[in-house]
Amino acid sequence: MRYGHFLARDGAVIDEIMAVYMPEGRSYTGHDQVEIYCHGGRQVAKMIQDELVAAGARVAEPGEFTRLAFLAGRIDLTRAEAVAEVIESNTDTSFRAARDHLLGGYHNHISQLREALIDIIAEVEASVDYPEEDIDPENRFGLLAQLDVIIANVNELVDTYRGGRIINEGFRIVIGGRPNAGKSSLFNLLLRQERALVTPTPGTTRDYLSEWIELDGFKVNLIDTAGLRQTGGAVEKAGQKSARQILKGANLVIWMVDTTKKSWKRDLGYDLKSLGDTPTMLIGNKIDLLSGAGLKRVKASDAKLIPLSCLTGKGVADLKRAVGSRITDNMPDLTSGVVVTSARHQQKLSKALRSLKAARVKLKKDETPELTAFDLRQAVASIDEITGKIYTEEILGRIFSRFCIGK
């Protein structure tokens, strides 16, 4: 670490700085690397960067350092992906999950699963390669029980993707309702009250409005379907179709009901049917316009509407609390640090799960062990595609350490 001054081309001092040189093979990227520490503030950093570029440097592409680190073998695939997630994360929870990946909690968990799986493979392989040894054939049921534990674990891991995806892509809330129910009012109210997140995704489309906000520490994708007419003539048929699709893809639908309309109860019954099993939260809007008896009716309704007024803001706190707990219910336990947030991992793990289930069927039916081994090895291969490993020697090593083999 050196101390000195950063000079511009014309010799003027830009800042007093510290700099550290990391030789090839000892830096994050594995390449020769210099880090410069300057005083805070964007302007100084920008001036230094400009000088460096003028001297022939190039600004790194997003993720380039991590790619170099991966190519140099400094980090494995899961960690490289985790770094990318940390960089992209823009809320508390996504940062936490990404950081845990980076620290390797996730990696360790997968390694443990893989280890347990190799134990089983060693048993199965031993019965193929050493038929003449009097190995106590670890009874099939013992192996089945071990395999069940692994399947349950992988299953759990695959399931965390539901939450992991929410962390990564955001919890998708679609605000729906009949015309004039107050959808846009609620949309704008929430946008005003909560921190808007800047995302690279374009926020507006022709058909609906989409924004990101942070709610209870979670990234939330809020969609206003106001632009979509829910009823109407043939011209809007296409629009109706996409409205249904948007509603279907929601993690939660906030359905707005205009409680000042006489027919709200009947309409709601009809609308709920068309919403099917999409998770839905019902809002009774415009309570500021209701009489005391009207409000009572809303509160007493079986539909359990949350009474709210976009105009006065009454009930918004209740709504946010309810939404927060819905999100939490959808989230995996983050304290373990083991959440699948990458679609690639989810895919590999699901593939592994299918192989494990196939192996289980074979083991249960007591089919020949080379076929069970086939499926188990496919499962390991899928897991290895997450981290990248080779394992034949490991299986043999396991066999020799567990059994007294050989004549």
Partner 1 sequence: MMTYDYDVIVVGGGHAGVEAALAVARMGKTAAIVTMEASKLALMSCNPAIGGIGKSHLVKEIDALGGLMGEAIDATGIQFRRLNLSRGPAVWSTRVQADRIKYNEYVVRFVAAQKNVDVIEGLAGQILADNGRVCGMKTEAGRSVTSRAVIIASGTFLGGLIHIGDKKIRAGRMGEPAAYMLSESLAELGFEIGRLKTGTPPRLDGDTIDWSKCEVQPGEQPLPLFSHRSVREPFEQTPCHLTYTTEATRAIISANFKASPIFSGQIKSTGPRYCPSIEDKFFRFADKPRHQVFLEPEGNGTNEIYPNGFSTALPEKIQYQAVRTLTGLENVRPTRPGYAIEYDYCPAFQVMPSLETRRIKGLFFAGQINGTSGYEEAAGQGLMAGINAVLGIEGEPPFVLDRSEAYIGVMIDDLTTRSTTEPYRLFTSRAEYRLALREDNARDRLYGYAKEHKLIDDNDFVSFVSLQEKTLQEINLLRRKRVRVSEIGKLGDRFQKRESISLEDLLKQPGVTIGDALPILARFDGEFSVDREVLERAAIFIRYRGYVEKQQREIDKFKRMENEKIPEDFDFTAVKGLKQEAFDKFQCFRPVSLGQAGRIEGVTPGDIAVLSVYLKKHKG
The contact set with partner 1 (CB under 8 A) reads: 24-25, 30-31, 68, 70-77, 125, 127-134, 362, 367-371, 373-374, 377, 381, 388, 390, 392-393, 395-396, 399-400, 404-407
Minimum CB–partner distance for residue 398 and partner 1 (Å)? 10
Is the CB of 236 or the CB of 384 nearer to partner 1? 384
Is the CB of 10 or the CB of 393 nearer to partner 1? 393
Burial 166-186 (b: 16+ CB within 10 A, else e): bbbebbbbbbbbbeebbbbbb
Amino acid at 374: F
Minimum CB–partner distance for residue 32 and partner 1 (Å)? 10
Is the CB of 132 or the CB of 277 nearer to partner 1? 132
Minimum CB–partner distance for residue 405 and partner 1 (Å)? 5
Amino acid at 86: V
Minimum CB–partner distance for residue 368 and partner 1 (Å)? 4
Alpha carbon distance 323, 235 (integer Å): 35
Is the CB of 30 or the CB of 170 nearer to partner 1? 30
Is the CB of 286 or the CB of 398 nearer to partner 1? 398
Q: Which of 156, 68, 154, 155 is nearest to 333 (CA)?
A: 156
Give the 3-state secondary structure of residue 284.
strand
Q: Which of 248, 317, 254, 313 is nearest to 280 (CA)?
A: 254
Q: Name the token pair of 277.
A: 């099993």
Minimum CB–partner distance for residue 165 and partner 1 (Å)? 25
Minimum CB–partner distance for residue 151 and partner 1 (Å)? 20
Minimum CB–partner distance for residue 211 and partner 1 (Å)? 39
Task: Work out whether strand 280-285 and strand 2-7 pair parallel, antiparallel, or are unpaired.
Answer: unpaired
CB 306 within 8 A of CB 315: yes
Is the CB of 92 or the CB of 385 nearer to partner 1? 385
Tokens 């936490």 locate to: 96
Minimum CB–partner distance for residue 395 and partner 1 (Å)? 6
Q: Which of 93, 290, 102, 90 is nearest to 196 (CA)?
A: 90
CB 156 within 8 A of CB 197: no
Neighbouring C-alpha atoms within 13 Å toward the C-beta of 208: 26
Note the maximum CA span of the chain. Answer: 93
Task: Work out whether strand 209-215 and strand 218-224 pair parallel, antiparallel, or are unpaired.
Answer: antiparallel
Minimum CB–partner distance for residue 139 and partner 1 (Å)? 16
Is the CB of 100 or the CB of 123 nearer to partner 1? 123
Alpha carbon distance 268, 276 (integer Å): 12
Radius of gyration of the chain (CA): 29
Is the CB of 73 or the CB of 200 nearer to partner 1? 73
Is the CB of 14 or the CB of 75 nearer to partner 1? 75
